[in-house]
A = this chain, B = another copy of it.
Amino acid sequence: MTGERTNVAVLGTGGIGKRTLRVMEHKDELTPVAVCDSGGVAVDFDGVDTTDLVAADGGAVAAEGGSEVAALPDGRTTDDSVGDVIDVHERIDGVLMALPNIPHSFIPETVERFVDAGYEGVLVDVLKRSRVIDRMEEMEEELKGAGVTFVCGAGATPGFLTGAAAVAAQSFVEIEEIEIWWGVGLKSGYEGNVGTVREDIAHLDGYDLETVSEMSDDEIREVIDEHDGVLEFHDMEHADDRLLERAGVCDAADVKVGGILDVTQDKKPTTTTVRVTGTTFEGETATNTFQLDDDTSMAANVNGPALGYLRAGVFYNDNGIYGLHGPAEMMPRF
């Protein structure tokens, strides 16, 4: 696809959306033609001028209820910003849905709206929860019929690390266990990632997505303080399991996801590591390892892969490959 231009829409300008736009500045092939947040939309087929939005990343947060996108040169306020993007769907090649996973139905409903409008391009999300995959799989035939290529779970985990696991599995004829272990240091980045932290807290004992969705930002902060700013997670319901199973790499039950979130420092509290243990055709049991440098941020590891998968999705879509595709399926097959 080198040299070709891909028109991208970014839905949502929270931490992930803003950083996606920043990464996109380094990708000549990708042009942001539509950007929206809950109250505003900006559309420009010469490329939305996102300078102010990107500059605000990590800085001041927009006034409550205000729209940062509406304040852009091409921006305006709107009651239905996703609808306004859908209105121009014919000129969009790929849509990155950097939307909250709360409630669960938000992303599937957004997909449904694009399909109903006759969109025939690529949709990418950075969803996390295993159970959302079921909902997406129910839409598989509808997506195929519509000519939509949907890449689901294309962030860091699931996404980057799921794909790395599928590659690391290639030494083996049978997989025993895949362990995904992440570290995130989020001191200065905390304010820009409250949504992600909220979703993580739902994995702690005694919490779920319903309870955290009703908590105020102060209540979220209280939970963090109770843990002295360091939260450790085990057996997270991250969709890596379902996505690796879909790709035929292993059973979902053989995938373990956990990690440590530290909001007291920017340094990662632990090194993000994927360990794939399996048996070779000679009968040897061994463990291949993929490690991200501590100096790669969560943002870098979400947004680079999300755009990488988006471009792979555009290649699929251009060649008539539609339907649902997880990151581990867009790889050499196991």
Q: Which residues of A contact B (CB under 8 A)?
A: 1-2, 19, 22-23, 25-27, 154, 160, 163-164, 167-168, 170-174, 248, 280-282, 284-297, 299-301, 303-305, 308-309, 311-312, 315, 319-321, 327, 330-334
Contacts and interface: CB of A to CB of B under 8 A. Distances in A.
B289 A291 contact: yes
B174 A168 contact: no
A27 B295 CA distance: 39
A284 B281 CA distance: 40
27 contacts: A2-B248, A22-B281, A26-B173, A154-B332, A163-B167, A164-B168, A167-B167, A167-B290, A171-B292, A172-B304, A280-B297, A281-B304, A284-B295, A284-B297, A287-B293, A288-B291, A288-B292, A289-B290, A290-B290, A305-B332, A308-B333, A309-B332, A311-B333, A312-B331, A319-B320, A320-B320, A331-B331
Given A281-B26, A287-B293, A167 B164 contact: yes
Contacts of A292: 171, 286, 288
Contacts of A171: 160, 292-293, 296, 300-301, 304
A252 to B, nearest CB: 15
Contact of A308 (B1, B309, B312, B334): B334
Nearest to A163: B167
Copy count, this protein chain: 2
Contacts of A287: 293
Contacts of A286: 292-296
A311 B291 CA distance: 27
Contacts of A1: 333
B332 A308 contact: yes
